[in-house]
Amino acid sequence: MKLQNLVTIVTGASQGLGHAIAEQFAKEGAHVAICARDSALLEKARRRLQDLANSGQRVLAYAGDVSSREQMQELFRRIEQEIGLVDVLVNNAGVYGPKGPSELVDLDEWSRALEINLLGTFIPTRFAIAQMKKKGAGKIVNLSGGGATNPLPRLSAYAASKAAVVRLTETLAEELREFSIAINAIAPGALNTRFLDEVLKAGPELVGSAFYEKALKQRDTGGAPIEKGVALCVYLASAASDGITGKLISALWDPWEKLHDFRAELTRCAALFPKIEERSFRSAGSRGAGNAVIAGDGSGIRQPNSRQRPARIRYAKALRAGRIDRKSSNMNRDREHAFQPATRNGHAGA
């Protein structure tokens, strides 16, 4: 088991991706604490997790608001008291917020979305860091969103807050590197969860006709497989990802299963290339640094073609296929940019 006896927390885990992550953590041998605002859904989720748990595994459910300092303080106090110091935190809780033209949406709802998505990531992270420093190590996984990598018209609160989460991830990675605490962001892809239901319910008048049409297509085709995002979370929570920090990783398009093979290069790149050279990504044909060419409105990922595929993907695929050697001078520059810091690197739809 990959997470045997680790103390883990997943926020927003009463349903959807968050609950799927918590379930897999339990299957991998972890103690699991889950948090959500809906106490009825949370209790159902707790029972399902308890059924999966083996003898000796602890499952804890706490109904609380991730943007409340007092409630999160109580959650982490209970976890430390009843299970132990935290090893892994997954900040999955989030909302779309108000939908529609930015000058017309309710300002209180807009602000509330930032509180949940940004403060609701930062506040649990603060308490987790304190416990992880006591323990000497830890892993934190943040959920990115489509708005973090591209403009997301009519969903400005979501876009702004998720972009902020990515920069927070990068910043904390540098702060925490010396304490052996890794923090990364993931892009699970456009999932068929309650977020999709919200878009379809809002209709084209609020979210725009193009975004709505993409949502309809996503509903009909099934969306991104949730298992990919879950597996990436397990990887980043496990010892296999030790040394990987400050990245935004696409569950669908990045070769993250072999990311640890680049650990030495990642460490070197973090020291030598703290800023991404924009020209390298413009030459790759991508609007942003990263994992895939992203639909202009942020509503979904499309498979990049060979000209548009960023350097990191081209290198990894060519290396696996045996077309290049690691010392190839033509690829050294690409390798220096592989799996760079998180800014603008992915897409999510959790």
Q: Which of 63, 102, 62, 112 is nearest to 83 (CA)?
A: 62
- What does the angle CA 160 – CA 311 – CA 146 come to, to the nearest 5 degrees? 20
Cα–Cα distance measured from residue 180 to residue 244, given in angstroms and rounded to the nearest whole number: 10
Torsion of CA 348, 33, 30, 138, to 10 degrees: 70
Residues with Cβ within 8 Å of 182's Cβ and at least 6 positions away in sequence, in order, are: 138, 139, 140, 173, 176, 236, 241, 242, 243, 244, 245
Cα–Cα distance measured from residue 329 to residue 217, given in angstroms and rounded to the nearest whole number: 43
Burial status of residue 107 (CB atoms within 10 A of its CB: 0-12, 13-18, 19 or more): exposed
**Which helix (H) or strand (E) is 122 found in, with range?**
helix 120-135
Active site members:
158
Cα–Cα distance measured from residue 153 to residue 237, given in angstroms and rounded to the nearest whole number: 33
Tally of residues, the chain: 350
Give the tokens for residue 123: 């506040």
Torsion of CA 336, 339, 340, 341, to 10 degrees: -160
Cα–Cα distance measured from residue 114 to residue 162, given in angstroms and rounded to the nearest whole number: 9
Q: How far is CA 321 from CA 228, 238, 317, in A?
A: 23, 27, 6
Q: Are 309 and 269 in contact (CB under 8 A)?
A: no
**Residue 153, phi then psi, degrees to nearest 5:** -55, 140
Rg (CA), the chain: 20
